[in-house]
Amino acid sequence: MNASKKESLDRIRQIGETVSVEFKRCGGNIEHDVYETVCSFSNRFGGDIYLGILDDGTVNGVPEKTASSMVKNIITVLANPNLFSPTLTLDPEIITYEKKTLIHIHVPVSGEVISFKKVIYNRVNDSDVKVTSTTDIAQMYIRKQEIFTERKVYPYVHFDDLRLDLLPLVRTMAKNNSSGVHPWEKMTDAELLKSAGLYTEDRVTGEKGFNLAAVMLLGKDDVIRDVAPAYSTDALLRKVNVDRYDDRLIVDTNLIESYDRLFEFAVKHLSDKFYLEDGKVRLSLRNIIAREMIVNTLMHREFISAYQAKFVIEKDRMYVENANRARKDGLITPENFEPYAKNPLIASFFRNIGYSDKLGSGVRKLFNYSYKYSGADPEFMEGDIFRITVPLNDDFSWDAQNNVRTSESAENPTINPTINPTLNPTLNPTLKDLDRLIIQKIKENPSVTYSELSEVLGKNRDTIAEHLRFLQEKEFVERIGSKKNGIWQLIEGKTR
């Protein structure tokens, strides 16, 4: 094993098992749970299995003499149509690590839904879960086939099932969003709906008609209930009565009016703090943040899912969450973000009427303005449930903070403006709010574990692991000793 691969495996052992990493104790035989993990990795995002490493990261190895026959056995089982359907072709690798023999199985994500012994498995966090619900199985097939459910044609939905009274407003919004001129202005209602891709032909079945996107954008309420009976957004205010709510609004109408109602709910319950962009233009941080969160949850959700979408405002945070057709699992940052329209027809319609900007701009806006609104960064968590969390802090004011800094700078002109921000994490612009909290907890307790950090900071284990990996890569912290018995150490000069 070369140095880079060893370093990579060192880091993997420190982090432990995740949605895409599994350790297996292995004697001379391959247990069935290895194949269950192969199946779940194939169905999810792919991953890596290491035979010969215990759950806690301890390396015990596999018998060197039988390693080759074990690899052959794995290949044979994966190719057996009575066990795997469809069959898989993988290339397990025998490696030497810390003077022990291991077997590494890299499992790529498959193009089809895989079953092992006629059972479908899915990867949830660090567990392999049997999938028995027909709804969940259908979601897996949708994810594999890259099906855009918004394109499903409903041949018995007619013009009188749509809110055509909204089209004059749509034309005006599109015109105002495009410098006073937009093609929809001069189109008939039928031409507009066809131009927007809301009246289409299914190229597989030949069916013509209005699709799911048309129903969700412009459908009458009873038609929406017939087509997507679980669709609604539950808006909740939880500042005093955190177990139930202080205020509630259930929104289950078309997407255009849903946006207005949810936005009004946000305006009603969020502070509109004073802020000048570049010291010149007054902007409403509240409106920008609320707009991006609401548009995201309406535009990118999976409408056929029974999961209840939410918009929740609490004392120290607000969040939206909705069913999602995930392409990966974990934390999204501006650095690793890859824009992808889950519902391209709805996204295009929203862009035309000015509800959204170009694809991906919402993430950058929320990271920019959330910090100026509350002094902390937002969190985007991708999975079967997509969640955006924006911290809230009524005591924070970007304007007041900058006025204080300006005053202090005038009183202390000798302060060196080129001071190295890496000397202190509170000044380092690359460090997120959660990074600073993790560093503080490590200062207080160098033996703190991933689970303890997850519990204390209120974040899931994968999020903590990703931030710790970043801190190690940027040399803010290092791990001394094993994953189980080691400690964290802050690197001198970076975090003092």
Phi, psi (rounded to 5 degrees) for 229: -60, -25
C-alpha closest to that of 311 among 341, 344, 270: 270
Averaged pLDDT in 10-residue chunks for the chain of 496 residues: 80 87 88 95 91 91 92 92 89 91 91 91 91 87 77 94 97 90 92 93 86 97 95 97 96 97 97 86 94 95 91 97 83 78 89 84 89 92 91 88 51 40 45 84 86 79 82 86 77 62
DSSP assignment of 103-118 equals: EEEEEPPPSS--EETT
Q: How far apart are CA 64 and CA 101, in angstroms?
A: 6
Phi, psi (rounded to 5 degrees) for 87: -70, 160
Q: Kindly list the structural domains of the chain, giving each domain's residue range(s) and its CATH number in brackets, ordered by start.
A: 3-145 (3.30.950.30), 149-227 (no CATH), 233-398 (3.30.565.60), 420-490 (1.10.10.10)
**CA-to-CA separations, 162 to 126, 134, 198, 449, in angstroms, rounded:** 45, 30, 11, 55
Q: What's the 3-state SS for 27-63?
A: CCCCCHHHHHHHHHHHHCCCEEEEECECCCCCECCCC
Residue written as token pair 């703190």: 448
pLDDT for the residue 421: 39
Cβ atoms of 258 and 251 closer than 8 Å: yes
Cβ atoms of 297 and 324 closer than 8 Å: no
**CA-to-CA separations, 192 to 170, 174, 184, 467, in angstroms, rounded:** 10, 11, 6, 47
- The model's pTM is 0.66
